[in-house]
Chains A and B, each alone.
Chain A
Amino acid sequence: MSYVPWATAAWLSAVGIYGVITSRHYVHLIGCLTVVQSATYVALLSVGYRFGSVAPIFYTRSPSTPAVDPVLQALVLTDIVVGATITALLLALTLQVHKKRGTVNPERLRPFRQ
């Protein structure tokens, strides 16, 4: 069973990338990017996990209690916050594309010609 988390992460990034490739709408494409990103959450948290250990909060426990890795949890926290703001930025770009070109289908968009 020990390969399940890694396979899940690989699967999430694969379906996300498939979605990006076949996307016909930028909002759908941004959703697929979020799926790819969630693969990193699964991978990072699985690396930091350890059987029979507690969360790295030692308010009531002694610091020698076996605990999961706080470094990877901090990395995931960073990942989520930046991911949320980047999603907002991409959605704003989508709005601009819609205003300027009247379509949000990546296949219909051609480079600007001056």
Chain B
Amino acid sequence: MNRRTRLVVAGICALAIAPAVAVVIVHIPAFGHHPLPYGDAINRAAGAERHVTNMVTAVNFDYRAFDTLGEELMLVAAVTGTLVLLRGRRGENVSDRAAQAGDRPVCERSEAVTLACRIFLPLIVTFGLYVILHAGLTPGGGFQGGAIVASGTLLLYLGESYSLWRRLMHSLIFDMLEAAGAIVLVLCGLLPMLSGAAFLENVLPLGQTRALLAGGLILVENAGVAVAVTAGFILLLLEFLEETRATRGGEKP
């Protein structure tokens, strides 16, 4: 099918769907006045039932934790697929030299860049850990914090060197952490069943509202997700950076 045929087919489909979309847009309840019974019920009940103050975390790691389990496994599957595809020919061998653009000379990095990275790396990682730890209290959680920590580690590459970043980020360690995070989440579902509770039922002591260690099983699941997301994103960064590396003559790809 060439481009013109595709556009004609798409145009016909769009014309067929357009009236339905228009009807939905006109008849959907007015913006800002939706009846939200499920959300309202959680807003009313979750604070007393689960001792957390961030309702999004309560939904993610407790009321709809089953969905989060599925999402987590999707994440692990996507990361694994990416690793398999990118490592394919190269195997697990890694290089310690950054990518070069053709024959252009490699410039020394400026001391200002190194200084800025050394200042911001601890700040960003600390902020990421703060976001992870305060999942139950304030906006944040394992997903967001994990992404912040993982991207923060890239400053090692920017400010120091590719070889240092490669030496510190062992892919074997992160492979295992990635799997461990997913296993923690699955065990959070299965272990409560040993006590006769339901899959993923929150059986741990809930702690005090507004304390850092409140929420029972939510804390464990959040930690598992944080580990899996951090490790997964670091693995993705590792493999894509490795992929940009051009090979020199005589070197194995």
Residues of A within 8 A of B (CB): 1-7, 10, 14, 17-18, 21-22, 46-51, 55-59, 63-64, 67-74, 77-78, 81-82, 84-86, 88-89, 91-93, 95-96, 107
Residues of B within 8 A of A (CB): 2-3, 6-7, 10, 14, 21, 24-26, 28, 30-34, 36, 38-40, 42-44, 46-48, 53-56, 58-60, 64, 67-68, 71, 74-75, 78-79, 81-82, 85-86, 88, 137-139, 141, 143-144, 147, 210, 229, 232, 236, 239-240, 243
Q: Is the interface of B mostly helix, strand, loop or mixed?
A: helix
In the bound complex, residues from chain B placing their C-beta under 8 Å from that of A64 are 44
B86 x A95 contact (CB < 8 A): yes
A46 x B55 contact (CB < 8 A): no
For residue B26, which residue of chain A has the nearest CB? A3
- A to B contact number (C-beta, < 8 Å): 147
In the bound complex, residues from chain B placing their C-beta under 8 Å from that of A95 are 85-86, 243
Docked complex Cα distance between A5 and B76 (Å): 33
Shortest distance in angstroms between A23's beta carbon and chain B's nearest beta carbon? 10
Closest 3 pairs (CB-CB, A-B): A69-B39, A70-B55, A56-B55
B78 x A85 contact (CB < 8 A): yes
Docked complex Cα distance between A49 and B14 (Å): 28
